[in-house]
Chains A and B, each alone.
Chain A
Amino acid sequence: MTQLRPLSALIFAVVLLAIWQTVTMQSLVPAVLLPSPASIANRIFTGAGTLLPNAASTSLVAVGGFALALVAGLGLAAAMALSAWLTRLLYPNLLLFQLLPKVALGPLFVVWLGIGVPSRLAFTTVVSVFPVVIGTLAGLRAANPGQIRLCQALRASLWQIFIHIRVPGALPYIFAGARIAATLAFTGAVVGEFISSDSGLGHVIMNAASQSDTALVFASLVVLCILGAALYGLVGLAERFARRRWRSR
């Protein structure tokens, strides 16, 4: 694994912000196209009343959809790992469906479930479920044949092999899928809000852009970035915890 170097990355970001600030202060770019970092920071505070409740709304949909995607994805992959028949039935269709840009399904969910939270939750789940299913299934199938043979020699049941060999062996794959799903969940939530909604950061961005309040657009992006990083970090923490529990290297 490449080691993260937070310090050098931080310096780079600060330099970038400084350049951005300088360029915008010289009025080289109109503020409506590119507001200065300082004005964006300022907008975060003046717009907090708008940003906070809408951030909560987006988080609810993103985290809820992510959780549903985890449950559905793990369940689906586990079922396929335990049943070759189900795999034959589902897997090729899943792969085919994965090729579809899921975002294009957004309007359908509005037709089916309206513009409320349930509609966006369902849409977010569909957008983020695939990496979980594919990752988990790959992990469960990648089990070491020697370890399985050992279990068979001990007369282990299929369920014991699943719990004692396949699941711990699949953990790195499961978390790789979950990390991708965590980022897709915010994509799903925001796109859902773009399509149709009366709340959420996606809604704020659409409104602000139409009113040329570019600073508020950027302020919303900053909040989204923080939220996304928080969910991603949470998945990372869960992985650390799980690996300490099972210690799969």
Chain B
Amino acid sequence: MDHRHRVGAGIQSHARVTPAAIRFRGVSKVYPVKPTPLVAVAEADFAVAAGEFVAILGPSGCGKSTLLMMAAGLETPTTGSISITGEPMSGPNPHTGIMFQDATLLPWLSVLDNVLFPATIRRLKRATVEPRARDLLATMGLTGFERSRPHELSGGMRQRAAICRALVLDPDVLLMDEPFSALDAITRDEMGAVLLDLWQHQSKSAIFVTHSIREAVLLADRVLVMSPRPARVAHEVVVPFPRPRAPDVADTAEFTGLCAELRAMIARGRP
């Protein structure tokens, strides 16, 4: 199996013709707290290719969410730089969509209006975006709930609406910060399947932050294993399962083997 996994921190070797969707170059994040500054991310150096789904896997509190917040432009790196489709980043990028741990739907808006919220903020004509919003809701099995309020939906449905919202302006990159961690185990599995299915039809890049090994292996093309704080990329593992991928890939011995390997990597901590 080992020949398929390139293990190590040197990740620049992802040679593609198109520029990387996201590239981190020597990115560190230090919070100036007293008495000793808190280093959340140290020397993060990696790229996500166009159309690639990368999972960032690490223990809770290792700084992986900080990594994603920097990719979203909600935090600025202390050192280093991030570029999105070749352009250096300055603040939130309009070509990215984001999902948080909870759905963060606005309770006073209908599901449809929530999905259209990015269009509202960008002052786009509703009529131009609404068909896409309705299509996305249909793909996510939310037809008939357009006029419902978020509190009338289950947790899984709310998070599916949040996926629609993240995708409504057709971003190149989807950033997900432990999007299923607030859901129960069964809904979580269901959401994994939904996302997996969605990715068969999308050619988007994604960064998926998670502490679930299973989820990472099921969804990603590549898994970056982070070290405990400060977060640095400790290992990189290419997931060998071809797409289209069905959720039952998780029942294969190869899948469980890979999960075990990743678990060992996390347990070992630093490289």
Task: State which of B94, B108, B117 has its C-beta within 8 Å of the C-beta of A155.
Answer: B94
For the complex, give the distance between the alpha carbons of A76 and B162 in Å: 35
CB distance from B204 to the nearest CB of A (A): 16
A146 touches B108 (CB 8 A): no
Within 8 A of A (CB), among B93-143: 94, 96, 98, 100, 102, 104, 106-109, 117-118, 120-122
Task: Determine if A168 and B92 form an interchain contact, defined as CB atoms under 8 angstroms apart.
Answer: no
Set of chain B residues within 8 Å of A169, measured between Cβ atoms: 108
Asked whether any CB of chain B lies closer than 8 Å to the CB of A151, the reply is yes
B-side contacts of A168, CB under 8 Å: 106, 108
A248 to B102, CA, bound (A): 18
- Once A246-B108, A248-B107, A249-B151 are accepted as A-B contacts, the answer to whether A151 and B121 lie under 8 Å apart by CB is yes
On whether the beta carbons of A248 and B104 are closer than 8 Å, the reply is: no
B88 at the interface (CB under 8 A from A): no
Interface residues of A in 147-179 (CB under 8 A from B): 147, 149-156, 160, 164-165, 168-169, 171
Q: What does DSSP make chain B's interface, helix, strand, loop or mixed?
A: loop
* Residue of B73, B94, B107, B151 with highest tally of chain A CB at under 10 A: B107
Number of interface residues of B (CB under 8 A): 22
**Contact of A247 with B by CB under 8 A:** yes
Q: Is the CB of A153 within 8 A of B151?
A: no
Mask of B44-66 contacts with A, CB within 8 angstroms, 1/0: 00000000000000000000000
B149 and A154 contact, CB distance less than 8 A? no
Interface contact B104-A147, CB-CB below 8 Å: yes
Contact (A147, B106) CB under 8 Å given A160-B121, A247-B149: yes
Q: Chain B interface (Cβ within 8 Å of chain A)?
A: 72-74, 91-92, 94, 96, 98, 100, 102, 104, 106-109, 117-118, 120-122, 149, 151
| Nearest 7 CB-CB pairings of A with B | A246-B108, A248-B108, A154-B121, A146-B104, A168-B108, A156-B121, A153-B98
